[in-house]
């Protein structure tokens, strides 16, 4: 089997990541593993194309993972009550936050 099937699966994986269909990635990973194991008699050009497709997918998946981690951190920061960081004469930082339920937002 040539590397074309593997490259096609990488393209589907790329599309799934961009579309946010993260649930499809598990199935595609299994398909990709089977396609990779079935590659036989592929020339150097086919193997280089497959390697590039895999690298592109890995890079995109890493970027998606970073984005998700940053979004989680931002949501966690937004869920904490507002606080004020002050410094004393010695330069020691201190957080001052309002007791829960005492601040109201006004339009």
Predicted confidence band of residue 101 (pLDDT cuts 50, 70, 90): low
Identify whether 35 is part of a domain. yes
What is the Cα–Cα distance from 65 to 25, expressed in whole angstroms? 13
pLDDT at position 102 over 70: no
Identify whether 94 is part of a domain. no
Identify whether 40 is part of a domain. yes
pLDDT single digits (tens) 19-72: 989 899 999 999 999 998 888 877 888 889 999 999 999 999 999 999 999 999
Identify whether 64 is part of a domain. yes
- For the whole model, what pTM was predicted? 0.66
Count structural domains, the chain: 1
Containing domain of residue 30, as a range? 4-87
Identify whether 99 is part of a domain. no
What is the Cα–Cα distance from 86 to 8, expressed in whole angstroms? 56
Closest to 17 in 3D by CA, of 61, 70, 71, 67: 61
Summarize the confidence of residues 85-104 as an average pLDDT: 79
**pLDDT confidence of residue 107:** 61
Identify whether 101 is part of a domain. no
Handedness of CA 24, 25, 26, 27 (dihedral sign): positive
Identify whether 106 is part of a domain. no
87 phi and psi angles, rounded to 5 deg: -130, 140
Identify whether 93 is part of a domain. no
pLDDT at position 95 over 80: yes
């Amino acid at each position: 089997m040539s590397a074309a099937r593997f490259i096609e699966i990488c393209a589907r994986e790329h599309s799934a990541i961009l579309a946010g269909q993260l649930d499809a990635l598990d199935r595609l990973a299994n398909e990709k593993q089977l396609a990779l194991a079935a590659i036989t008699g592929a020339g150097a050009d086919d193997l280089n194309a497959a390697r590039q497709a895999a690298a592109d997918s890995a890079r995109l998946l890493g970027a998606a993972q970073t984005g998700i981690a940053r979004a989680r951190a931002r949501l966690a920061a937004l869920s904490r009550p507002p606080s004020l960081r002050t410094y004393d004469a010695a330069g020691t930082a201190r957080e001052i936050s309002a007791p829960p339920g005492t601040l109201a937002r006004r339009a």
